[in-house]
Amino acid sequence: MPELPEVEVVRAGLAPAVSGARIAAVTVLDERALTRHGDSGPSFERALMGRSFTAAVRRGKFLWLPLAHSGPDPQAMIAHLGMSGQMLLRPSGAPVERHERVRLDLQHPTHGELAVVFADQRTFGSLAIDALEPTPDGAAGGRGDAAAVAPRQVAHIARDPLDPAFRDGVFRSVLARKASGIKRVLLDQTVVSGIGNIYADESLWAARIHPETLALDLSTRAVNRLLAEVRAVLEKALAEGGTSFDAQYVNVNGQAGYFAHSLNAYGRTGEPCARCGRPIMRVSFTNRSSHYCPRCQRLPSSGR
């Protein structure tokens, strides 16, 4: 599933193309792409026609395009990529993409005519029109826009560690009350957003923390170290365009990221740890897997 770096790469690619662009046409080819919208394809098309986008914004794994001239109730088109969703920029009139679900034809004052295509092989992603609401802390709703608003569907999503409004002290306080494994907590989007299975494994390896270490057993120093490594891993992945294992994880131009070549733990079962040489282990974790070094990431013997 795309995580923060992959979605941020998409947001950054969309921003110059959609900001200030007028929606000239909307074509819904598959209404399964509107599961979060809660209404029909024709209503989605009518609600967007003739309006303009003002920005491309992201919080965690959620992406939204605020709509101009929304009246007293501001709105945005929100996109969740699910497991295989793609937001692709294409020339106006370009052939239908494989797995294309929705197409928006845009008229940009600088770039002219272009199309934004939402393609999704597994159909777990979705587009929706959602109300924008003030953020409780008064800070910008997400990366890409200074407006202190966020879609209603994103209200429960915590800020991510790269967000200037993320509060390290609040995060430490939450962990101190969590009697759950630290990896499970990192994947809880109500605690911290944008971190999925790949970057959780990589951050925990970098911080030398076993994924099953109880969050409340971590010292302040350990939590600070973990946050620093989370940020370093996410920033490095962003610089390398995200992680791509197949053709599903691409930027708006269909290009794959190459952070997969920099992984130290995730997907490296049986390969030597880059620090100590011990084989990386893989264990079941809910319906996924955890990857860690049994020597560098020892489980504390607290007995809890």
pLDDT tens-digit readout, 13-43: 999 999 999 999 999 999 999 998 988 999 9
> Which letter does DSSP use for residue 211 in this model?
T
Please indicate whether residue 288 is annotated as part of the active site.
Answer: yes
What does the block give as tokens for 234?
A: 């996410």
Kindly give the interhelix angle for 220-239 and 4-18, rounded to the nearest 10 degrees. Answer: 50
Q: Has 122 been labeled as part of a binding site? A: yes
Q: What is the pLDDT of residue 303?
A: 41
Separation CA 294–CA 204 (nearest Å): 12
Please indicate whether residue 31 is annotated as part of the active site.
Answer: no
CA dist 195 → 22, 56, 213, 238, 299 (Å): 33, 20, 17, 13, 21
**Identity of the amino acid at 258:** Y
In angstroms, the first-to-last Cα distance of the chain is: 32
Separation CA 100–CA 93 (nearest Å): 14
- Given a contact cutoff of 8 angstroms between Cβ atoms, the answer to whether 24 and 105 are in contact is yes
Per-residue pLDDT tens over the stretch 134-190: 999 999 999 999 999 999 999 999 999 999 999 999 999 999 999 999 999 999 999
**Identity of the amino acid at 41:** G
In the chain the domains, ranked by start, together with CATH numbers, are: 4-154 (3.20.190.10), 168-292 (1.10.8.50)
Which residue among 11, 58, 59, 61 is the active-site one?
Answer: 61
Give the DSSP H or E segment for 224.
helix 220-239
